[in-house]
A and B are shown apart, each in its own frame.
Chain A
C-alpha cells in the first residue's frame, strides 16, 4: 500500500472494478450486497475492494443502520479529479507556448537542426 494519501487515492482508483463501484456510488449509497450484484465475484471480494476504497478515504460506511450502506466521499473524489485537471492545464500552458513558437517558424523548416556536434 502506497504511503501518502494521494497515492492511496490513485491506486484505489487504478482498479476497474473499484472505479465501477465509485461510479455506482456516485448515484447514491448502496449496501455491500447491492454493490456485489453486477459482478461475478463473492461478497467477500467486494468487501476487499471496499476496504481499499475506505482506506483511501474515498468511501465511508455507516455504523448505525443494519445494512451499513456505503457512501461515496465526493469531496475526496473531486479533489483527485482537480489534481489531474491541474496536470492537464500545465501541459496545456506548455503547448500554448509551443503554438506561439510554431507560428514564428518557416513552413519549410528542416525537421532536425543542423548537426554541429554533440553539445552546446
Chain B
C-alpha cells in the first residue's frame, strides 16, 4: 500500500512486517545526518508536535545507545535503543523500543542518499516481529485519533 504526495512517501510492505518512509531534503547528507546524531538538534524535530521531548542520553556512534522521553499531560513515555552501525553522512542502523512494550523491538535503518546539488533522500525502514506489531506501530503515531478511529471502525463493523 503506497500513499504518495510530493513530500513524504510511506510504504507498508505486503511481504515483510516493515514500514518504509522516504523523504527528500534540500540539504546535503552531512547536514541531514548531523540533525539525526546531535542531541541538541534531534530534540528540536523528532518529538511529536504537542509533546515535550527530553533526552536522557544520546550517544550516536557504532556501539552507542540512546534513551529519550516524550512528556505529555503529566505522562512520560520512554523510548530506548542501541546504535548498531553509524557511518557519517551515509547510514544509521539502530534498534527502537517503546518502554511501554519492553519486549517489542524494531530494527531501523536510516539511509542518507546523496542526490547531488546539496540534496538528500532519506530512506528510513522499520522492521518488526509480526504484521500485528507493524500495524500497531503504524497506529501508534496517531495519538487521540486512534481512539476515534477505533470507535468509527467498531461502528462500521457493527452495522
Residues in chain A within 8 A of chain B (CB atoms): 2, 4-7, 9-11, 13-16, 19, 57, 73, 75-76, 79, 81-88, 90-95, 97-103, 105, 107, 109-113, 115, 118-120
Contact = CB atoms under 8 A, between A and B. Distances in A.
B142 interface: yes
Contact of A101 (B35, B37, B58, B141): B35
Interface residues of B, number: 63
A4 B1 CA distance: 20
Contact of A76 (B30, B56, B122, B153): B153
Interface in B1-47: 1, 3, 5, 7-10, 12, 14-15, 21, 23, 25-35, 37-41, 44-46
Given A86-B141, A94-B46, A105-B34, A57 B41 contact: no
Contacts of B25: 95, 98-99, 102
Nearest to A19: B14
Given A94-B46, A105-B41, 19 more contacts: A13-B14, A82-B149, A83-B139, A84-B12, A86-B145, A87-B10, A87-B141, A87-B142, A88-B8, A91-B23, A92-B5, A92-B23, A99-B25, A102-B25, A102-B26, A111-B31, A112-B38, A113-B34, A120-B39
What does DSSP make chain B's interface, helix, strand, loop or mixed? mixed
A95 B35 contact: no
A115 B29 CA distance: 19
Contacts of B26: 99, 102
A3 to B, nearest CB: 8
Contacts of B32: 98, 102
B155 to A, nearest CB: 10
Contact of B27 (A81, A102, A115, A120): A102
Contacts of A119: 56-59
B37 to A, nearest CB: 5
